[in-house]
Amino acid sequence: MKNKAKALNGIFSVILSILSLLYIFPVVMILFNSFKQENSITTDGAFTLPTAETFDGLTNYVNAIGAQGFLSSLGYSLFITISSVAAILLFCSMSAWYLARVKSWFSTMFYYLCVFSMVVPFQMVMYTLSATADKLKLNTPWNIWVIYLGFGAGLAVFMITGFMKSIPLEIEEAAMIDGCNPIRTFFSIVMPMLKPTLVSVGILEAMWVWNDYLLPTLVLDIKKYKTIPMLIQYFRGSYGRVEMGPMMASIMLTIIPIIIVYLLGQKHIIKGVAAGAVKG
């Protein structure tokens, strides 16, 4: 039995390794092309490795940063990501605390509505969302976080509520006996204990918001505001020509930050997902 189990584990390891390489391959090719000359990408093809003749150094990265307002788009993406994730963590953790501690028909219905929102396709609401965002003036980078809060609340409430049910109620009761009001109890006692789940939720939501293209395109005014994914989609060089080299470099500049965030917090993601989905 042990030999059979080892053989199966070996087969699964090989299969998963091949799948991992298939997922990594496009990123590696983008990285190689970001160091190639423009003519080499268009004539030799995107699947050739850079040579001494076609290697262009950091020229594409310099052109990508200096062209078409890359820094302003980076600023918009950073602000939208930080504000959206902060709002999701704050409001959803408070909601999850209420849902885990208050047993009523309203809390139960609200919880299942949050869970149901995770399975509703975005395409079903995107047209009404665009019109509603225009009416409520949510079509700027400074207040689009309200929309992200609504779409990100389902996953956040589900995970945090599951973790909250594993925290003993006696800890909060002891804090209230010592004179803590509900607000102080939440921020001083409950929120520090939610750290594993908050970190995992924050990383997952940050990856989603940072890489999101469809929602900002529907809501924001493209002529005034472009996030990083929108900038890459509409990347144009001189005379409206698509410059493949700088575009590949801009894609890498977009990928690297979120990869670093994920690698630094992957252990928290695993702990948070397990705690929020299994317990309670």
Backbone angles phi, psi at 36, to 5 degrees: -100, 155
Residue-by-residue pLDDT tens, the chain, 280 positions: 667 777 788 888 889 889 888 888 888 888 888 888 877 777 776 777 777 777 877 788 887 787 767 888 889 999 999 999 999 999 999 999 999 888 888 988 999 888 888 888 888 888 888 888 888 888 889 999 999 998 999 989 998 998 888 888 888 888 888 888 888 888 888 888 888 888 888 988 998 999 898 899 889 888 888 888 888 877 665 555 667 778 888 888 888 888 887 777 777 666 655 554 444 4
d(CA 207, CA 65): 22
Any idea where the domains of the chain sit in the sequence?
Answer: 2-60, 62-278
The tally of CA atoms less than 13 A away on the side-chain side of residue 157 is 26
Torsion of CA 176, 177, 178, 183, to 10 degrees: 10
Residues 6 or more apart whose CB falls under 8 angstroms from that of 33 comprise 41, 46, 50, 244, 245, 248
Quick one: which of 188, 185, 207, 204 has its CA closest to 196?
204
CA end-to-end span of the chain, whole Å? 34
pTM as predicted: 0.83
Distance CA 137, CA 167 (A): 40
Q: How far apart are CA 251 and CA 61, in angstroms?
A: 10
In angstroms, rounded to a whole number, what is the distance separating the alpha carbons of residues 3 and 254?
Answer: 45
pLDDT for residue 278: 46
pLDDT value at position 251? Answer: 86
Confidence at residue 224, expressed as pLDDT on a 0 to 100 scale: 85
pLDDT at 237 (0 to 100): 53
Cβ–Cβ < 8 Å for 199, 266: no
Q: Which of these, 66, 67, 42, lies nearest to 54 by C-alpha position?
A: 42
Query: Taking Cα atoms as reference points, which of 150, 153, 186, 151 lies closest to residue 171?
Result: 186
Q: Are 253 and 34 in contact (CB under 8 A)?
A: no
Protein fold of 62-278: MetI-like fold (1.10.3720)
